[in-house]
Amino acid sequence: MGENKRRMLAGDWYLPDDPELAAEARRAAELCAAYNAPGPPPPERRDALLRELLGSVGEGVRIRPPFHCDFGRLIRIGAGTFVNFGAVFLDTAPITLGEDVQLGPYVQLLTPAHPLEAGRRRAGWERGLPVTLGDNVWLGGGVVVCPGVTIGENTVVGAGSVVVRDLPPGVLAVGNPARVVRTLDPDEEKSP
């Protein structure tokens, strides 16, 4: 394993313009292209592509194309999770989705962070900070989750929100930046 990849996986500053990382990104791009191809492949082929692309995929995971990621291998998705079309997972650090997570269309889970100092940014330095979604999290359409954020189980984030800080379990958060507006009562909504 090369130095840049080792630094990336450790969450340290690294230079992404690296032949080893470029080869892994090409592999992910080719698998995403096959997954996103017009006239979707049969379900068993789509499942096989996901299992080849991603680090782990639980039973009953559904991801509607198009779906895009940087590397794929750093993504772990729990059973019963649904990802609507247009999702972008930039996985320069681990992205972990618990079980029964629901993501609306055009959700972005972003792990890359860049230096604030312009010279280092121009030189291409970055690092990855993990994104974690607990079980039963629901992100509305267009939600952006920034690097290093953890969202607790049973939390709901309203459409169009930008999550820049950790959110606790069992809350409703909305806005840019997302703010907790109330605690969710698990007994509030009963099935008919």
192 domain-assigned: no
pLDDT of residue 190: 57
Angle between helical axes of 19-36 and 43-53 (0-180°, round to 10)? 170
Note down the domain range covering 178.
3-183
pLDDT of residue 189: 63
Q: Is 114 a catalytic residue?
A: yes
Dihedral, CA of residue 27, residue 32, residue 37 and residue 41, to nearest 10: 100
Check which CATH number belongs to the domain holding 173 and give it: 2.160.10.10
pLDDT of residue 42: 85
**Which listed residue (26, 45, 114, 120) is catalytic?**
114
| Overall number of domains in the chain | 1
> What are the pLDDT digits (tens) for 1-13?
899 899 999 999 9
pTM of the model: 0.94
Is residue 41 scored above 80 in pLDDT?
no
> What are the pLDDT digits (tens) for 79-132?
999 999 999 999 999 999 999 999 999 999 999 999 999 999 999 999 999 999
Q: Reduced to 3 states, what is the DSSP secondary structure of residue 8?
A: helix
Q: Reduced to 3 states, what is the DSSP secondary structure of residue 29?
A: helix
Distances in Å between the alpha carbon of 18 and those of 26, 57, 91? 12, 28, 16
Q: How far apart are CA 94 and CA 99, in angstroms?
A: 16
